[in-house]
Amino acid sequence: MSITIPALPRGPVARLRWALADAWTITLRGLVHWTREPGTVISGLLFPVMMVLMFGYFFGGAMKVPGGGNYREFLMPGMFVMTMVFGMGETVTAVAADKNRGVTSRFRAMPMAPSAVLLGRCVTDMLNSVLALAVLLGVGLAVGWEVHGSTGEALAAVGLLLLLRFALSWLGIYFGLLMKGPEGITLVQTLEFPVGFLTSVFVAPATMPGWLGTIAEWNPLSSTVTAARELFGNPGWDGSSWIVQHASVMAVVWPVVLFAVFFPLSVRRFRNLTG
């Protein structure tokens, strides 16, 4: 019995439609996994909630906000950013699992747009992040966090958070394609904590030793945290360095740079997979 392989579409418009259709199929596959493994999704949503409760109530009494203010309002924009960072670990795990089980190789052998596998993964991650962010926004409101800025500014803050997650998705995809075993995945997930803590998420860099505070200020996550605090109208800290004074601009620049670096690296790695 002969097998007829469908002809590849011709023309840029047809190829774009083909790629988008295949990417949506991969996205639906990811959503089906959510329904089959709800425990994984729920645990991913509950972890940042526990972090909010731990830092907001257990440690919050010992925290001082520069210039005064409610520590939980200082904390929540940082926790929104940390939720975007934690999502990167989920990306690494999912991509590495597909690669190591041979699923990615089977996709590459099928008559489908090569970009669809990576794009579909990214769309799935973004949908997951929207859900996680919505849950954490609700938790923030429940623990006393408030938005003091305008609706437009609040939406801009949410946009910056999702822009960061979009860039981190491609970083996660690249590392997932590199991983050959669970040890590498564990290492990436472990590094999320020192990278996230070495920021202005939990405390102002001004309270750190000078050299460490400088590193924290220039951490790309800190720019998004600072910009989100400004847009939400939450208490922050008045750093005098250039990176702090231009946090809103850098909250766009850093994700664009990360995407510009890791998107082509991810595509190249995907094309060069051998097994």
Q: Does 189 map to a domain?
A: yes
Residue 37 lies in a domain: yes
- How many structural domains is the chain composed of? 1
Residue 176 included in any domain: yes
Structure tokens at 271: 């094309």
In a domain, 97, yes or no: yes
Largest CA distance in the chain: 77
Measuring CA to CA, how many Å separate 186 from each of 132, 151, 180, 193, 263?
A: 22, 39, 12, 12, 23
Q: What is the pLDDT of residues 115-125, one digit of tens each?
A: 788 999 999 99
Give domain status of residue 251, yes or no: yes
Burial class of residue 262 (count of CB atoms within 10 Å of its CB; 0-12, 13-18, 19+): buried
Is 50 inside a domain boundary? Answer: yes
Count of C-beta atoms within a 10 Å radius of residue 38: 10
Interior CA angle at 171 toward 47 and 137, to 5°? 35
**pLDDT tens series, the chain, 275 aa:** 444 444 556 666 777 787 788 888 888 888 888 888 888 778 888 888 888 888 887 776 667 777 777 888 999 999 999 999 988 888 998 898 888 888 888 888 877 777 788 999 999 999 999 999 999 999 999 988 999 989 999 999 999 999 999 999 999 999 999 888 777 778 777 788 888 888 988 888 888 888 898 999 999 999 999 999 999 999 887 778 899 999 999 999 999 999 999 999 998 998 888 65
CA distances from 262 to 13, 62, 85, 169, 269 (A): 26, 39, 16, 9, 10
Residue at 237 is within a domain:
yes
Whether residue 138 lies inside any domain: the answer is yes
Q: Which domain holds residue 189?
A: 14-271
